[in-house]
Amino acid sequence: MLKYTLKRLLQLIPTLLIVVLIIFVITRVVPGNPAAVMLGPQASVQDVEKLEEELGLNNSIWTQMLDYLKGLLKGDLGKSYYYNEPVIDIISERFPNTLLLSVFSMFLSLLIGIPAGVISATKQYSKFDYITMVLALIGISMPVFWLGLMLVLIFSVKLGWLPSVGIGEAGFIDGLKHIILPGLSLAIISAGVFARFTRSSMLDIIKEDYIKTARAKGLREKIVIWKHAFKNALPPIITIIGIQFSSLLSGAILTETIFSWPGMGKLIVDSIEKRDYSLVQGGVLFVAFVYVVINLIVDISYALLNPKVRAEFEGTKEGGK
Amino acid sequence: MNRRKKGLLFILVAIMVLSFALTGCGKNKSDKKAGGNKEGGTLTIALSSTPKNLDPVKYTGVYEGNIIRSIGDTLVFYDKELKEVIPGLATEWEISKDLKEYKFTLRDDVYFQKGKYQDGRKMTAEDVKYSLERSEKESAMGRLRMLDHVEVVSDNEIIAYLKEPNAAFLTVLTDSGNIIVPKEEVEGWGDEFGLHLVGTGSYAFKEWRKDDCVILEKNEKYWGSKPNLDQVVFKFISDTNMRANALRTGEIDVATDLQGESIEAIKKDEKLEIREKPGMKVSFVSMNLKNGPTKDKKVREAILSAIDVDALVKGLYSWDEAERAYLPLPPGSWGYDKSIEELVPKYDPAKAKKLLAEAGYPNGGFELNIYITDDPMRVKMATIIQSDLKENLNIDLKINTAEWGTFSDVASKGKADLYGMSWAWYPDPDFFLYQMFHSAQIGSLGNGQGFENAKVDELLNRAVSETGNQEERAKLYQEALKIIAEEYPRLDYSNEKVIYGMNKKVKDFVLFGDNQIFINHPEFNVYKEK
- Find the CATH number of the domain harbouring A255: 1.10.3720.10
pLDDT class of A299 with cuts at 50, 70, 90: confident
Whether the per-residue pLDDT at B287 is higher than 60: the answer is yes
Between A80-94, B164-178, B231-245, B491-505, the lowest mean confidence (pLDDT) is in A80-94
pLDDT class of B412 with cuts at 50, 70, 90: confident
User: Is A138 among the domain residues?
Assistant: yes
* Separation of alpha carbons A113 and A103, rounded Å: 15
Whether the per-residue pLDDT at B384 is higher than 70: the answer is yes
Q: Does the distance separating the beta carbons of B22 and A96 come in below 8 Å?
A: yes
User: Is A18 among the domain residues?
Assistant: no
**C-alpha pair distances (Å), A262 with each of A168, A236, B77, B210, B211:** 11, 32, 34, 7, 5
Q: Does the distance separating the beta carbons of B236 and A260 come in below 8 Å?
A: yes
User: Is A253 among the domain residues?
Assistant: yes
A-chain CB neighbours of B192 within 8 Å are 84
Number of domains forming the structure of chain A: 1
Residue B216, strand partner residues:
B205, B232
- Residues A157, B248: contact at Cβ < 8 Å? yes
Q: Would you state the pLDDT for residue B4? A: 52
Q: A168 or B296: whose pLDDT is higher?
A: B296
B405 in A contact zone (CB under 8 Å)? yes
User: Is A110 among the domain residues?
Assistant: yes
CA distance B111 to chain A (A): 28
Whether the per-residue pLDDT at B83 is higher than 60: the answer is yes
3-state per-residue secondary structure call for B316-370: HCCCCCEEECCCCCCCCCCCCCHHHHHHCCCCCHHHHHHHHHHCCCCCCCCEEEE
**Quick one: average pLDDT of B326-346?**
93
Q: B1, B433, B444, B449: best mutation site toward chain A, by most A Cβ within 10 Å?
A: B444
Task: Count contacts between A and B (CB, < 8 Å).
Answer: 188
Q: Would you state the pLDDT for residue B23? A: 45
**Quick one: average pLDDT of B155-179?**
93
Scan residues 50-89 of B and list those with Cβ closer than 8 Å to A. Answer: 50, 52-53, 58, 60-61
Residue of chain B minimizing CA distance to A92: B210
Whether the per-residue pLDDT at B41 is higher than 50: the answer is yes
Q: A73 or B67: whose pLDDT is higher?
A: B67
Phi and psi at A99, nearest 5°, equal -60, -45
CA distance B226 to chain A (A): 28
Q: What is the pTM of this model?
A: 0.81
Instruction: Please write the tens of the pLDDT for every residue from B425-480.
Output: 888 999 899 989 999 888 888 898 999 999 999 999 999 988 888 899 999 999 99
Instruction: Please count the CA atoms within 13 angstroms of the CA of B324 that sit on its side-chain side.
Output: 14
User: Is A270 among the domain residues?
Assistant: yes
Q: Would you state the pLDDT for residue B34? A: 43
Top mean pLDDT of A31-35, A292-296, B238-242, B413-417 is at: B413-417
Q: Does the distance separating the beta carbons of B16 and A165 come in below 8 Å?
A: no
Element (DSSP H or E) covering residue A244: helix A231-249
Residue of chain A minimizing CA distance to B21: A170
CA distance B408 to chain A (A): 7
User: Is A41 among the domain residues?
Assistant: no
**Quick one: average pLDDT of B68-96?**
94
Residue of chain A minimizing CA distance to B17: A172
Q: Tell me what percent of the residues of chain B surpass a pLDDT of 90.
A: 69
* Separation of alpha carbons B112 and A42, rounded Å: 31
Element (DSSP H or E) covering residue B419: strand B418-424
- Residues A310, A1: contact at Cβ < 8 Å? yes
User: Is A88 among the domain residues?
Assistant: no
Q: Does the distance separating the beta carbons of B58 and A47 come in below 8 Å?
A: no
Residue of chain A minimizing CA distance to B412: A41
User: Is A218 among the domain residues?
Assistant: no
Show the domain range for A189.
93-201+233-314
CB atoms under 10 Å from CB of A240, counted, come to 18
Nearest CB among A39, A175, A274 relative to B141 is that of A39
- Residues B364, B356: contact at Cβ < 8 Å? yes
Q: A174 or B495: whose pLDDT is higher?
A: B495
Q: Does the distance separating the beta carbons of A171 and B19 come in below 8 Å?
A: no
Between B3-17, B47-61, B174-188, B204-218, the lowest mean confidence (pLDDT) is in B3-17
Q: Would you state the pLDDT for residue B14? A: 57
Nearest CB among B26, B407, B441 relative to A166 is that of B26
On the 0-12 / 13-18 / 19+ scale of CB atoms within 10 A, B400 is: middle
Q: Would you state the pLDDT for residue B405? A: 74
